[in-house]
Structure 1
């Protein structure tokens, strides 16, 4: 039986690239995002190895249902990649928009917690892996950046979760990239990290032997 990976934020960028890389490596992939058309197109491209599950991952009930659909369809869950995230137009505090902070905190933090809470009972059964997208911004102090603060939370959470999962031989990895050429930015960044670079890091973490847990992979553009 093929192993199964659930990916949030799977419709574009890092999520879509990871789905392709994981499917190529022999994994089934459950694709979660709000963009139903993009998910369906990606699932059609990947064939029987993919399941499109349109879902707002900040909606806990919808996320729980998506995880149940994944387990029912593929027969289990071996890994989850909590990748969905967002930034804001003004990164500062004084001139920032608290309404945007609310949405960002719910996606960048709460949705990750919801994903972990929903998937861990299944990952425990398979001694599986939980992978989460962090950031260079979660390792550096950036002037007034609420986005950076959400990623600092993610890096701390990933380390704590790794210790919890270690009790039953599970693994947690935070992927920490610098600037990546994704739709996150209004203009293309062709000389920066590419989504495939991050996807390859995720697959590398997933393919570690049972004796090894890669706790963090930090990637920076070579330009």
Structure 2
């Protein structure tokens, strides 16, 4: 089995983050979980066991609050091997002309700024362990979608992941950008039979971090088969 990894996950209270936390612990890793919803985080820690998981509720768009998460995680586990920047959101009104600027601002804070904060705060610790940064972009960050401001934020995430991989390679760190198509999570209201499952993304994260250290899995692009 691969060496035990200490993994920080943002957006961990449901969907992809929750599935990833369970998958990693079931495969012998330990997790530091953060999201805004404290009750759900505490339930997840109770399920996974306090030896394997800890939670610190925080808003990932708040640099100081996220810094506290990283600090507390290091205090408990002593190191950080992987950071998974997964927190994100979409908007209710599509298009530029009809879009809501306030909603855009909130989305940019979580999809872009929280990603930057996560990298800025974890990189010093990842450098110490020759660690791994993983981020959730989207299939929407790889192709033009008419009027999609959400897609544009994921273009940023996609480009940032590629650039960060180059930056981290200077000290043999690894960076993986995961770009899934539509995933069946609370993120999307409409039910579609051809969505991916959060487990599919969790499996991708596990694959990336357990790959041999010589192998930097730069990108994983997932689409529903149908």
TM bracket, shorter-chain basis: over 0.9
User: Could you list the per-position Cα deviations for residues 148-170 of structure 1 after superposition, in whole angstroms to 9, with x for gaps in the alignment?
Assistant: 00000011100100001001110
**Residues 10 and 19, structure 1, Cα contact 8 Å, conserved in 2:** yes
Partner of 1:210: 213
Counterparts of 1:42 and 1:80, CA distance in 2: 18
Partner of 1:198: 201
4+ long deviations beyond 3 Å: 187-191
Q: Tell me the TM-score normalised to structure 2 length.
A: 0.97
Q: Tell me the TM-score normalised to structure 1 length.
A: 0.98
Partner of 1:129: 132
1:165-180 equivalences in 2 (<5 Å): 165-180=168-183
Partner of 1:36: 38
Counterparts of 1:30 and 1:201, CA distance in 2: 19
Q: By how many angstroms is 1:22 displaced?
A: 0.6
Counterparts of 2:202 and 2:192, CA distance in 1: 17
Q: By how many angstroms is 1:190 displaced?
A: 4.6
- 2:22 corresponds to 1:23: no
Counterparts of 1:218 and 1:121, CA distance in 2: 28
SS at match of 1:144: coil
List gaps (5 residues or longer) in structure 2. none
Q: By how many angstroms is 1:210 displaced?
A: 1.3
Picking from 10, 26, 30, the partner of 1:8 is 10
RMSD, aligned α-carbons: 1.0
Partner of 1:58: 61
1:33-182 equivalences in 2 (<5 Å): 33-47=35-49, 48-182=51-185
Counterparts of 2:26 and 2:119, CA distance in 1: 25
Counterparts of 1:121 and 1:42, CA distance in 2: 28
Partner of 2:224: 221
List gaps (5 residues or longer) in structure 1. none
Counterparts of 2:139 and 2:82, CA distance in 1: 23
